[in-house]
């Protein structure tokens, strides 16, 4: 079985861009771990507010831990960086840390987890978010520094036809397009746990509900192969994960 590490700029990116694929891998018995580079402290606190701005990082950590559980993820870690505050419709910013330091911090987790495959943001940051782009660059730099056996791919790779052209990375051609329909329940459940971000999800997507917003295909560009052999035909042996015992977020006191 393979070890897979997803590296995400903010809690929710891993869910929206690769949640179905992570659930699929986990359901197939692979070890899936998430590394969040921030706790999304600069994001939205919810409409109406679900927490205070001061407590948002802690709150979003709880949200993403529940989301990770829904996806079948084994473990989740957080880098100590603080996501800069962003006003609604304001200018997104990245963490103020030198790239080499950021890559080193990621590299320490790669050393510790020893993943066969790292999955992270695309080179265009999906819709150009600076922290998404910076995370992509830092992950690539981390793997260039002595992780010869670790494969690397990025999510939201460009393909045609696509149900969501707006947030695909135009410079990353899709090598893999996964139909994640069998894993959609897990992905929707995970997305529902990111409650502080729901108003933003709906505002940005124009979708009538979170379930409608969640994409049913996920695409990936391979930057560094080969992929672990037991992942190669990954979409052909799907067993949806058991959702028993996992409460929906509506009943959850985060
Ligand atoms: Zn993000």
Average pLDDT along the chain = 90
Residue 237 Cα, ligand 1 centroid: separation in angstroms?
A: 30
Would you state the pLDDT for residue 248? Answer: 43
Topology, domain 3-251: Rossmann fold (3.40.50)
Residue 223 Cα, ligand 1 centroid: separation in angstroms?
A: 20
Residue 132 Cα, ligand 1 centroid: separation in angstroms?
A: 6
Is pLDDT above 90 for 252? Answer: no
Would you state the pLDDT for residue 229? Answer: 87
Residue 18 Cα, ligand 1 centroid: separation in angstroms?
A: 12
22 vs 166, higher pLDDT: 22
Is pLDDT above 70 for 235? Answer: no
Would you state the pLDDT for residue 253? Answer: 35
Say if strands 217-224 and 176-179 run parallel, antiparallel, or are unpaired. antiparallel
**pTM, two decimal places:** 0.91
Where in the chain does DSSP place strands (E)? 3-8, 31-38, 75-81, 117-120, 151-155, 157-158, 169-173, 176-179, 217-224
Neighbours of 37 (CB within 10 A): 30
Residue 9 Cα, ligand 1 centroid: separation in angstroms?
A: 5
148: left (phi over 0), alpha (psi -120 to 50) or beta: alpha
pLDDT digits over 40-96, tens only? 999 999 999 999 999 999 999 999 999 999 999 999 999 999 999 887 778 899 999
Give residue limits of the domains in the chain: 3-251
5 vs 165, higher pLDDT: 5
Would you state the pLDDT for residue 21? Answer: 98
Residue 56 Cα, ligand 1 centroid: separation in angstroms?
A: 15
Would you state the pLDDT for residue 147? Answer: 87
Residue 250 Cα, ligand 1 centroid: separation in angstroms?
A: 23
CA distances from 34 to 3, 45, 51, 135, 142 (A): 11, 22, 24, 13, 16
Ligand 1 ion: nearby residues, β-carbon < 5 Å: 9-10, 13
**Main-chain dihedrals φ then ψ at residue 50, nearest 5 degrees:** -100, -15
């Amino acid at each position: 079985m393979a070890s897979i590490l997803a590296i995400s700029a903010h809690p929710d990116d891993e869910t929206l861009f690769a949640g179905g694929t992570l659930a699929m891998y986990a359901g197939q018995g692979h070890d899936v771990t998430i590394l969040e580079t921030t706790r999304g402290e600069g994001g939205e606190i919810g409409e109406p507010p679900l927490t205070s701005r001061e407590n948002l990082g802690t709150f979003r950590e709880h949200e993403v831990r529940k989301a990770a559980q829904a996806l079948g993820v084994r473990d989740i870690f957080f880098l100590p960086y603080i996501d800069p505050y962003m006003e609604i419709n304001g200018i997104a910013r990245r963490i103020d840390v030198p790239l080499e330091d950021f890559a080193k911090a990621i590299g320490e987790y790669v050393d510790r987890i020893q993943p066969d495959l790292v999955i992270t943001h695309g080179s265009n940051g999906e819709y150009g978010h600076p922290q998404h782009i910076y995370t992509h660059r830092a992950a690539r730099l981390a793997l260039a520094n002595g992780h010869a056996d670790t494969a690397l791919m990025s999510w939201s790779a460009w393909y045609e036809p696509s149900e969501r052209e707006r947030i695909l990375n135009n410079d990353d051609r899709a090598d893999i397009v996964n139909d994640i329909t069998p894993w959609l329940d897990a992905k929707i459940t995970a997305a529902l746990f990111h409650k502080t971000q729901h108003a933003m999800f709906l505002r940005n997507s124009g979708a009538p509900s979170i379930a409608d917003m969640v994409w049913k295909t996920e695409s990936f560009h391979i930057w560094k192969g080969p992929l672990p052999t037991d992942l190669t035909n990954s979409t052909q042996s799907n067993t949806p994960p058991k959702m028993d015992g996992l409460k929906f977020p509506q009943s959850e006191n985060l």
